[in-house]
Chains A and B, each alone.
Chain A
Amino acid sequence: MLWHTGCGMVVTTGYPVTSFNVTYIHNLFQNGAPTLSGVVEMFNERKLRGEIPDDEEITFIMVTGDGGLDIGLGPALGTAFRNHKMIILEYDNQGYMNTGHQLSFTTPMGHATATSNVGPKQQGKTFHHKDSAQLFAACHVPYVFTACDVMYKDLITKAAKAQYYARNHGLVFGKLFSVCPLNWRHTDDVADDLGMAAINSNFFPLYEVEQGITTLNYDPEAKGKKADVTEWFKYMGKTKHLLKPENEKLVERFRTEVDRRFSRIKAMSENPLL
């Protein structure tokens, strides 16, 4: 296991009170993916040499926030191109939370952060969010998935698949929708509703790309649950300004982009060639 610096690392790996009973690497966050791929290759090499039993199965996981996948995107893509047998897991809370909520490339347009302010000259972030799952899908790795803990059965199924593919085929990329009550400015108890609203608004489609075939795992419209993006915004302080009438045009631009991206995933899901 390898963790990039970030909230997840700070909270879960405080040795010896760690959440994981395995040895792990914490290195700089532009280098996590290639560092772990070095470990993977050495493990395989030592298996070949007979120094590690052939039936020893280890899953290699590199965990990063969306921040680590901004600064570390190039090396992470290189790792994907080389198709090492490991998992890259991104928990995306849409900002650099451990340094005080600066924008990340996954911060959605219009959302307020410490470096995308709301005021007379600007209404939050000025450009759209990065689609990291599709970036890795374009690397044609064996398995890509998105998930959210509010749909936990879906998440656990995908975790099991991820482990299978990382052990037997090559690189897996997983993207998790991850709330941040402190910087999104919401109370802890609405986290589940908020996550569900993000999914139902089409902002965070739950899907997987398995050996190049896309499957949409949850279609809000088909379930009769389709919600507007403003249903998601209403939970958070960082999007409060987007509910004002003067920002309707900005929200419309965001809604259009979110729906366009969702429709593409849906079309891919309906056509194996895509």
Chain B
Amino acid sequence: MSDLIIRIGGEGGEGIISSGDMVAQAAARSGLNILTFKTFPAEIRGGYAMYQIRFSTDEIKSEGSGFDVMCAFNQEALDKNRSALKPGTVLVYDYPGGDIKEEVNIDGVTCYNLPMSQIAKKELEMYRAKNMVALGALSELFDISSESVRDTIHSKFGKKGEKVVGINLNAIEAGAKYVRENHKKTDPFKMGKAERADKDVIIISGNNAAGLGALIAGCRFLSCYPITPATEVAIFMSKYLPKLDGTLVQAEDEIASIANVIGAAFAGQKAMTSTSGPGLSLMQEFLGYASMAEIPCVVVDVQRGGPSTGLPTKHEQSDLFMAAHGGHGDAPRIVLSPENVPDVIDIMVQAFNLAEKYQVPVLVLTDGSLGNRTESIQAPDPNSYEIIDRKRYAPNGDGPYKRYELNESGISAMSHPGDADGAYIATGLEHFETSAPGYTPELHVSMSDKRFRKLENIEDELPPIEVQGDGEADLGLISWGSTLGTVRESVDMAIAAGMKVKALHPKLVWPVPVKAITEFASGCKKILVPEINKQGQLAEIIRSKTDLHLIQYNVYGGLPITPDELFEKIKEVI
């Protein structure tokens, strides 16, 4: 096997997510790479929940297109996925005795019934064990190593005692036994095992990776207000910050959160907040303050469907305009967007480094599916990262401290409260070099120029942007964030099909990396910009800085683009 996708669907609260997690863990223990994809209902219980796991012996770039195996816990899950049950796929479904009332037969689809509700209720006398019965059946059917599944059960439930472990193992065996006694496997799908070169592999979600990256960068302060789908970042930090003598504050809203962060950063700490679109909206005024008073801070925005309350648990990349342009006045900011889970860690370190170096707010845009998805990754080595700290003030007898000194780089030394001769006003008013307020035309011009001068050459100071594919291309793709994984996979498909296609993978999205984009574009006959929003936000900000003709591909239904869909689009526009 090189690639297998299993999707589990059912009602939120039925254990879909935890059984999916266990399949993923068992697979990773068997040496496979995994990438998971989840959708939740907005409600804490009830509604359709879906968990998809992609396994591969090779590197996994995206959640994939469709699935090979569907496991339906109820009728709704079956109905929602019926159109995706293509010939060659497999269906495992709860029948008889469950929510699905009729036997299912679909042309070309291998259907295995599994009375998971009935076995859980009657045999095990515990309805909650339904997901474990399903897990047992899936392991038996698709050769998920039973040893790995047992190890996973022990590590998940070991703390709760042998009795709980026993109940779960019995449920697993009951599901497996039903399959052995009632079904003869006729489909070709097998997960199997692989020898992994690196032993130090962890399974981590995008949201946890954001926390981990921040800790590596030296962040020791987080303030946030809980919001879907970003809360997990703070939950992760709440576990680790106390161990590192750090501080976590749960504030009363996002205005207070960013204010807390700016206070902590002013006092000398590397600080961050995590939020989603509605929270970022509330933070805009204070982000302008951070630009004006030149206080380094990092904001992670786990984007969701908007505007307003929007689609709290769905996927969208529609906060780019706000990240780049939100707030009033001419305010410099940096916006970064990582591609996948390991990239989240690297980008978070880079975000803190850039915030510290340039004394500006840095926004990191992930999204709901990247935040929630887990991947098996090589455990990062904290010592392998270069860590940058802000330029600190040291009195040199050259007269009074100039917090906002005008110089060539635009970067002036920052003092911390209590530093000798380092007193200044951190102010949102326009100010002189000494920080005293001032409003003359010359001052506002020179200070605005100073603040923007810091970022003038930022593109040159970062590693070159990766280009996928080479030579002259009939079509070039430019995208951002988690859509880049899909781009990677579709472009591979297109190249394999003999097309001349290449792609640019920018992680810095604001200020727009004009040089890299222009150079990339010069080697492409046409440019396609796929992104998950209605307006074509990346395309628009590129247009605002270049005269390129861009073809937009906008998908905005609350789900990512699949590699197959993007491949079709490539064929259409090339």
Contact = CB atoms under 8 A, between A and B. Distances in A.
B421 to A, nearest CB: 38
Nearest to A71: B253
Given A73-B252, A182-B44, A99 B227 contact: yes
A5 B226 contact: no
B278 A96 contact: no
B309 A115 contact: no
Contacts of A105: 252
Contacts of B248: 115
Contact of A182 (B45, B238, B250, B278): B45
B253 A99 contact: no
B443 interface: no
Contacts of B309: 5, 26, 28
Interface string A100-136: 1011010000000011010001100000000000000
Nearest to A96: B226
A187 interface: no
Contacts of B253: 30, 70-71
Contacts of B226: 96, 99-100, 102, 115
A204 B221 CA distance: 35
Contacts of B308: 27-28
A247 interface: no
B239 to A, nearest CB: 8
Nearest to A69: B252
Contacts of B42: 10
Nearest to A116: B250
A226 B352 CA distance: 55
A51 B44 CA distance: 43
Contacts of A26: 309
Contact of A10 (B43, B228, B252): B43
A242 interface: no
A105 B251 CA distance: 10
B132 interface: no
A98 B42 CA distance: 8
A97 interface: yes
A70 B225 CA distance: 11
Nearest to A73: B252
A195 to B, nearest CB: 21
Nearest to B229: A99
Contacts of B225: 71
B227 A115 contact: no
Contact of B235 (A10, A27, A115, A121): A115
A71 B252 CA distance: 5
Nearest to B242: A121
Interface string B33-51: 0000000001111000000
B231 interface: yes
Contact of A100 (B44, B250, B252, B282): B44
Interface residues of B, number: 21
Interface in A39-67: none
B252 A102 contact: no
B238 A103 contact: no
A70 B227 contact: no
A102 B223 CA distance: 13
By CB atoms of chain A within 10 A, which of B43, B234, B250, B253 has the most?
A: B250
A126 to B, nearest CB: 11
B250 A115 contact: yes
Contacts of A28: 278, 308-309
B250 A102 contact: yes
A179 B359 CA distance: 47
Interface in A118-162: 121-122
Contacts of A121: 242
Contacts of A182: 44-45
A114 B252 contact: no
A237 to B, nearest CB: 14
A114 B234 CA distance: 10
Contacts of A122: 242
A36 B309 CA distance: 18
B252 A70 contact: yes
Contact of A117 (B231, B238, B252, B278): B238
Contacts of B234: 115
A18 to B, nearest CB: 15
B314 to A, nearest CB: 16
Interface string B195-234: 0000000000000000000000000000001111001001
Given A10-B42, A28-B308, A28-B309, A99 B252 contact: no
Contacts of A10: 42-43
B43 A99 contact: no
Contact of A99 (B45, B228, B238): B228
Nearest to B250: A115
Interface string B141-159: 0000000000000000000
Given A5-B309, A71-B225, A96-B226, A102 B44 contact: no
A179 B205 CA distance: 32
28 contacts: A5-B309, A7-B44, A10-B42, A26-B309, A28-B278, A28-B309, A70-B253, A71-B252, A71-B253, A96-B226, A98-B43, A99-B44, A99-B226, A99-B227, A99-B228, A100-B44, A100-B226, A100-B231, A102-B250, A103-B250, A105-B252, A114-B235, A115-B226, A115-B238, A115-B248, A115-B250, A122-B242, A182-B45
Interface of B: 42-45, 225-228, 231, 234-235, 238, 242, 248, 250, 252-253, 278, 282, 308-309
Given A10-B42, A115-B226, 17 more contacts: A28-B308, A30-B253, A30-B282, A70-B252, A70-B253, A71-B225, A71-B253, A96-B226, A97-B44, A99-B226, A100-B226, A102-B250, A103-B250, A114-B235, A115-B248, A122-B242, A182-B45
Interface of A: 5, 7, 10, 26-28, 30, 70-71, 73, 96-100, 102-103, 105, 114-115, 117, 121-122, 182
